[in-house]
Amino acid sequence: MSLIHYARVWLASARYSIVRTMMFRFDFLMWSLVEFFWMAVNVLLIAVIYRHTNSIAGWTKYEMLLLVGTSMILQRLMMGLFWSNLFELGRNIRTGSFDFFLAQPGHPLFMISTRKLDPDGLLNSFVAIAVVVYSVRQLGLHPSLTNLILYVATLFSALVIHYSAVLLIVSYTFWSIGSQGIEGSYFTLFEFSRLPREAFRGMANVLFVYALPAVISSNVPAGVLIHGFRPVHALWLLLTAAAWLALAVFVFNRGLRRYASASS
């Protein structure tokens, strides 16, 4: 399939998801409000903490709010675009429904990753964007168009990291009964994305900054707006995203061969 055909498949899936969501408007509204209140709690927590201090690891109140807003953008995009699709993988493998994706005229990874959208997650990404815009205004920043483009580009690289981490987790179901319970490891890991890199010391710095990609996935994009573009940090994020995606695809393909051989 060409890129145009893949784009048409994605658009058809997106249209179906929106139509289906509008059939259950109350459910859509309820989950949108749940996610909104979760985001509000994170923002209020920052307000409470900074009533008692002016700086955390060298980060001021609105710098921290910008960092948290960036982290929320990534998680809302992840939840809206890929979360439900990937975590249905385990159920599909157990029930044999995964054969449906293998029979489709496209790469199985693309088909399982883009089958549907969650509009409630995507809707609240605009709330997270508003948090970032508010923080930028309060900091008196005036990012250039180039920096805004670079911010979006680093956000995309960070989203690849989030996607790769979830794909690695759910690919475990090719070797196990299911993925129930292990999805919490994604939230546990990326909870640290709301913290500044400078807050980590010793082994925590080695583990969460260098070994695992949680901290840089939000710190690098936020740093583009706060401190300006730093090529070394951007290259670090880009190489990390490429490495994690390559690892995730490799593990998925190994699992895919295992599934095919088991069902043949």
3-class secondary structure, 56: strand
What is the mean predicted confidence (pLDDT) over 204-222?
89
Q: Let me know the angle formed at the C-alpha of 166 by 162 and 172, rounded to the nearest 5 degrees.
A: 155
Claim: this prediction has a pTM higher than 0.85:
yes
| Residue 232 banded pLDDT, cuts 50, 70, 90 | very high
Q: Comparing C-alpha atoms, which of 37, 222, 6, 201 is closest to residue 113?
A: 6
- At residue 35, the pLDDT reads 83
- At residue 182, the pLDDT reads 67
Length of the chain: 264
Whether 21 shows a pLDDT value over 50: the answer reads yes
| Measured CA distances, 190 to 65, 182, 223 (Å) | 16, 14, 18
| Measured CA distances, 173 to 182, 252, 259 (Å) | 10, 10, 10
- Rounded-to-integer distance, Cα 232 and Cα 83, Å: 30
- Rounded-to-integer distance, Cα 247 and Cα 239, Å: 12
- At residue 178, the pLDDT reads 55
180-204 per-position pLDDT tens digit: 566 667 777 888 888 898 888 888 8
- Rounded-to-integer distance, Cα 155 and Cα 73, Å: 9
25-53 per-position pLDDT tens digit: 888 788 888 888 888 888 998 989 999 88
